[in-house]
Amino acid sequence: MNAPVVCQLTLRVSSASSPHGPGSVSACCLGPDLVAFLTSCARPNELLKSVFRVTVAQVPSPEGDRLPDVSGRYLLLEDELGFIPHFPFERDVKYRATFDPRPLGAPLTAESLNLEFFIPSEQKAPALTEVTHIFPSCDLLPENLLRLYVCFSNSMQRGRALKEISLLDSHGQPVADALYRPPVELWDRSMRHLTVLLDPGRLKRWVGPNVELGLPLKVGQKYTLDIGSGMIDLHGRPLRERFRKDFVVGDPVRERIPVEHWKILAPVTASRQALVLMFASPLDWALLQQTITIESADGLVIDGQVVVDQHERRWSFTPTSPWVTGVYQIRVGSGLEDVCGNNITEAFDRPLRKGPNLVTRINGSSLIFQLI
Amino acid sequence: MSEKPITSGHSRRDILRFAAASAVGLALPGGLSAVSNAPVAHGGPSGPLRSAGVLTFGPNNVLLVGDITGATIHAFALRDKDLTSQTDLISGNFHNFEGRDHVVGLDQKLAALFGTTVDKIVISDLAVHQPTEQIFLSVERGRGTDAIPAIVKVNHGQLEILELDSIPHSQVSLPNEPDSKAMLEFDPQQMYAITDLKYYNGEVFVTGITNQRFASTVYRIPYPFNANMATCTVEIWHPVHGEFETRAPIIRQVIRELNGEPYLFGVYGCTPLVRFPLSVLKDGAHVRGDLIGELGYGANPLDMLTFTSPADSKDYLLVTIDTRSASQIAVSELASAPPQPTGGGIDFGPGGLGRAQRALPIKAEHIAILNSKWAVLIWRHPKTTYRLDLSTLALPYFFERKDGMSEMNWPNGPDPFHYREHRNELSNQ
């Protein structure tokens, strides 16, 4: 051997498209002797078929017959011998490449090389995930705030909320025992919306945690809900960046939702104008989407689109068909709550009942408007 | 001309020639939409193919390929180096009805060769180059829109991919192909755009459907390809359905000269056998074929061919069928069989030559005649359902003895057919 061996003979896979087709496997650093020998070969392809072989690794052999090798051709490039399959390597199929130069003759001391490989399928993953909204969207939240929703731009995986989501005080320090740690993270079916609760035990006056620790939030203080970028999305990726929602705490709300005080902005007959309801204080963003329905006088539910905005203090309903003359009922389901968990019949946090605990549940409430 | 049903057995057929063919959308503006003798360089072994469908051999070692995705018929003029004689191969023990497996696990071996898994292998057709007895397969890797087409030949049991981009090639486009999104009730319409392909006396006959009102079409394309393609639409009376049918395509065709006149015999799904004299298949014609056999309802033909029986030296038509035994009908009856009456009610048959058909024990996905004594087939035996094999089967009974269980298989069993005298008597013919 005259020339020094600059590197060791190796097998290398390239999944990139080349002018010769997508994907190839190469024996690199052949060394000058091997290159010279292959160059001098009259029909190197025939010889190489037994030297440099690529097979599908997973296919079982029928009846002990030898399965054919993957069909392809060879390309000698300087110090490298490439195998280019006639049909591109298929993603996720496992292949085995073996390079055994020993049959090529005397001057070669190289050993046989083996490489199992596959080219993973390209996942067209969407853009990196981020937090799109946190509800309530208002910056001034009541002292007895119960619930927050964190909305993500893609579906997420469970298991990171405890570590990544925290409530910080004005000094950036975590507020101890403020957030409820549910045994199962509270995701919706799409895995894009996470419910975060403040500890209900601290919100309800006169129950143990409240007696011991008091309310988690203090009026007049600034807080930050902090969503760490370590939340993991369905594709296994962290968030594009961390997300913070700053808010100031105001007075508590400890009364039922006063449905009878809602302001109704009625649409014009024969139009598709929105019917608008205005609330004095923010209601629960998620429940507003599904608990209010509009019925015609004959009890049919009107089809249309709901929009909630103005910091969850406005609910607008645009019907699919124009409004017609008549009396309509705005039916409010008993499940509707405000951001503190107060519903349309009672407050979330109220004094304990005296006497027999007979609770009368109603099926909701309704308002009426008429179009002439 | 009247479209009134013919009720007698008279051999008259309706040829509805439209003076203004455009009135029913039959006209082909400017004749062929494209004729090309230049290779289209797609690169790689797929060459100009966009899909690999039906195969047949034309004159002078020309391999014809139906390409549905490309709406094209390709002609590859195979060179001597593309063909290797296989006549030295042992086909089996002819006397004892014992064929041989030329390729065991054909689908698994194709998968290995194509660098994929067996579920991605589709074998569309099989053709034999008669002078060399070499078998050619039309194969696709993949089942979706990204399927890669190829032609594979079998060389002494080994599979070899033809490098189509280096083989002299010409092609012709078929007009009015069904839209790629158009559906039938269960399948895409395009699936039936090119159902079969045969060469006869300087012409390529193509059957299939178009996007026209009378969808069922026969093309006659001169070979070597030129612009003089003739297109005619065909209809039949289908007794099993009790109606005239203008859209369901001929699924398989055979062209035979009988009593000095050439005919195209077509077999349809569910399963009419229909006769068309070539003389009536003229450009722009709408032709009603003579229904000469109703082979039985609920069946789809897989292959149709003729062979000469080594037992009685007579010629027979063979139709293999997906749901039941293959049908054998004497060729001598094809020309003389009277057309079945049209316009009656629904008749599940069998009718006409269907009543004279003989059932043959063939379960083949594809079958072709290899030589005077052997057929070759791709099949999946119940004992080896996990694989497809490429095997030979002895004419004219198409019976494979080694796969059966019978009294004669016992070491001391009876031997009425003298199997033991001929044991180990292998032959290539």
Burial of A45 (0-12, 13-18, 19+ CB in 10 A): exposed
Buried b (16+ CB within 10 A) or exposed e, B25-38: ebbbeeebbebbee
Per DSSP, what are the bridge partners of residue B265? B254, B275
Domain boundaries for CATH 2.60.40.1220 within chain A: 131-250, 259-371
Q: Pick the residue of B81, B113, B161 with the most A CBs within 10 A to test the interface with A by mutation.
A: B113
- Say if CB A325 and CB A371 are below 8 A apart: yes
Cβ–Cβ contact A10 with B under 8 A:
no
Nearest residue on chain A to B386, alpha-carbon basis: A62
Q: Which residues of B touch A89 (CB under 8 A)?
A: 115
The β-bridge relationship of strands B285-288 and B230-238 is parallel
Amino acid sitting at position A114:
N
Nearest residue on chain B to A66, alpha-carbon basis: B109
Rounded Cα distance between B28 and A278, Å, is 67
Instruction: Tell me whether the omega of the peptide bond preceding residue B45 falls within 30 degrees of 0, making it cis.
Output: no
Cβ–Cβ contact A109 with B under 8 A:
no
Q: What is the pLDDT of residues B175-191, one digit of tens each?
A: 999 988 889 888 889 99
Give the minimum alpha-carbon distance from B364 to chain A in angstroms, rounded to a whole number: 20
Q: What is the pLDDT of residues B282-336, one digit of tens each?
A: 999 999 999 999 999 999 999 999 999 999 999 999 999 999 999 999 999 999 9
> How is residue A287 annotated by DSSP?
H
* Other Cβ atoms within 10 Å of B417 Cβ, number: 13
Rounded Cα distance between B143 and A89, Å, is 16
Reply yes or no on whether the pLDDT at B214 is more than 70.
yes
Rounded Cα distance between B121 and B138, Å, is 11
Nearest CB to B109; choose among A67, A89, A93: A67
Burial of B333 (0-12, 13-18, 19+ CB in 10 A): middle
B362's CB contacts (< 8 A; 6+ apart) are B318, B320, B325, B326, B377, B393, B398
Nearest CB to B113; choose among A21, A61, A68: A68
The CATH number of A131-250 is which of 2.60.40.1220, 1.10.10.60, 3.30.1330.10, 3.40.50.2300? 2.60.40.1220
Cβ–Cβ contact B252 with A under 8 A:
no
Nearest CB to A59; choose among B108, B141, B158: B108
Q: Which residues of A touch B137 (CB under 8 A)?
A: none
Average pLDDT, chain B: 88
Instruction: Tell me which H or E stretch contains A80.
Output: strand A80-85
Q: How many residues does chain A have?
A: 372
Binding-face residues of B in 124-153 toward A, CB within 8 A: 141, 148, 150
Q: What is the pLDDT of residues B29-87, one digit of tens each?
A: 323 333 333 333 345 789 999 999 999 999 999 999 999 999 999 999 999 999 999 99
Cβ–Cβ contact A19 with B under 8 A:
no
Q: Pick the residue of A46, A66, A87 with the most B CBs within 10 A to test the interface with B by mutation.
A: A87
Q: Is A258 left (phi over 0), alpha (psi -120 to 50) or beta?
A: beta
Nearest residue on chain A to B110, alpha-carbon basis: A68
Nearest residue on chain A to B142, alpha-carbon basis: A90
Rg (alpha carbons) of chain A, rounded to whole number: 34
Q: Which residues of B touch A87 (CB under 8 A)?
A: 44-45, 114-116, 141, 148, 150
- Say if CB B278 and CB B263 are below 8 A apart: yes
Task: Return the closest-CA partner of residue A274 out of A288, A260, A284, A264.
Answer: A264
Instruction: Tell me which H or E stretch contains A35.
Output: helix A32-40
Q: What is the pLDDT of residues B106-123, one digit of tens each?
A: 999 999 999 999 989 999
B363's CB contacts (< 8 A; 6+ apart) are B379, B380
Q: Which residues of A touch B105 (CB under 8 A)?
A: 61-63, 65, 67
Prediction ipTM score: 0.79
Burial of B242 (0-12, 13-18, 19+ CB in 10 A): middle
> How is residue A190 annotated by DSSP?
T
Q: Pick the residue of B109, B152, B155 with the most A CBs within 10 A to test the interface with A by mutation.
A: B109
Rounded Cα distance between B15 and B102, Å, is 47
Nearest residue on chain A to B164, alpha-carbon basis: A86
Give the minimum alpha-carbon distance from A88 to chain B in angstroms, rounded to a whole number: 8
Instruction: Tell me which H or E stretch contains A56.
Output: strand A52-56
Give the minimum alpha-carbon distance from A58 to chain B in angstroms, rounded to a whole number: 8
Instruction: Say what the pLDDT of residue A299 is.
Output: 87
The answer to whether B114 contacts A70, with C-beta atoms less than 8 Å apart, is: yes
- How many contacts, defined by CB atoms under 8 Å, are there between A and B? 70
Burial of B414 (0-12, 13-18, 19+ CB in 10 A): exposed
Nearest residue on chain A to B47, alpha-carbon basis: A86
* Per-residue pLDDT tens digits of chain A, which is 372 residues long: 444 445 678 888 887 765 545 688 988 888 888 888 888 877 778 888 888 999 998 766 666 678 899 999 898 888 889 999 999 898 888 999 999 887 776 455 567 888 888 887 766 667 899 999 999 999 999 999 999 999 999 989 888 999 999 999 999 999 999 999 888 889 988 889 999 999 998 988 888 888 888 899 999 999 999 999 999 988 788 999 999 999 999 999 999 999 999 999 999 999 999 999 999 999 999 999 989 999 998 889 999 999 999 999 999 999 999 999 999 999 998 889 999 999 998 888 876 655 554 444 456 788 888 888
* Other Cβ atoms within 10 Å of B54 Cβ, number: 24
Q: In which band, very low, low, confident or very high, does the pLDDT at B6 lie, cut at 50, 70 and 90?
A: very low
Nearest residue on chain A to B45, alpha-carbon basis: A86
Nearest CB to A56; choose among B44, B45, B112: B112
Rounded Cα distance between B328 and B353, Å, is 10
The answer to whether B115 contacts A87, with C-beta atoms less than 8 Å apart, is: yes
The answer to whether A87 contacts B109, with C-beta atoms less than 8 Å apart, is: no
Rounded Cα distance between B213 and B23, Å, is 11
Cβ–Cβ contact A178 with B under 8 A:
no
Nearest CB to B105; choose among A62, A87, A90: A62
Instruction: Dump the DSSP string for A288-347.
Output: HTTSEEEE-TTSPBPPEEEEEETTTTEEEEEESS---SEEEEEEE-TT-BBTTS-BSSS-
Angle at B11 between CA B10 and CA B15, to 5 degrees: 120
Give the minimum alpha-carbon distance from A178 to chain B in angstroms, rounded to a whole number: 54
Window from A87-96, A344-353, B211-220, B343-352 with minimum mean pLDDT: A344-353
The answer to whether B105 contacts A21, with C-beta atoms less than 8 Å apart, is: no
Q: Pick the residue of A71, A96, A121 with the most B CBs within 10 A to test the interface with B by mutation.
A: A71
Q: Which residues of B touch A116 (CB under 8 A)?
A: none
Rounded Cα distance between A281 and B368, Å, is 82
The answer to whether B113 contacts A70, with C-beta atoms less than 8 Å apart, is: yes
For B187, the token pair is 């399948």
Give the minimum alpha-carbon distance from B331 to chain A in angstroms, rounded to a whole number: 40
- Say if CB B265 and CB B334 are below 8 A apart: yes
Cα-based distances in Å from B44 to A25, A200, B50, B148: 17, 68, 12, 10
Question: Could you name the CATH architecture of A259-371?
Answer: Sandwich (2.60)
Handedness of CA A137, A143, A146, A150 (dihedral sign): positive
Task: Return the closest-CA partner of residue B36 out of B82, B67, B12.
Answer: B67
- Say if CB B142 and CB B176 are below 8 A apart: no
For A341, the token pair is 């968990």
How distant is the alpha carbon of residue B225 from its chain centre? 21
Cα-based distances in Å from A129 to A137, A229, B52, B66, B93: 20, 9, 43, 48, 69
Rounded Cα distance between B162 and A256, Å, is 80
- Say if CB B208 and CB B253 are below 8 A apart: no
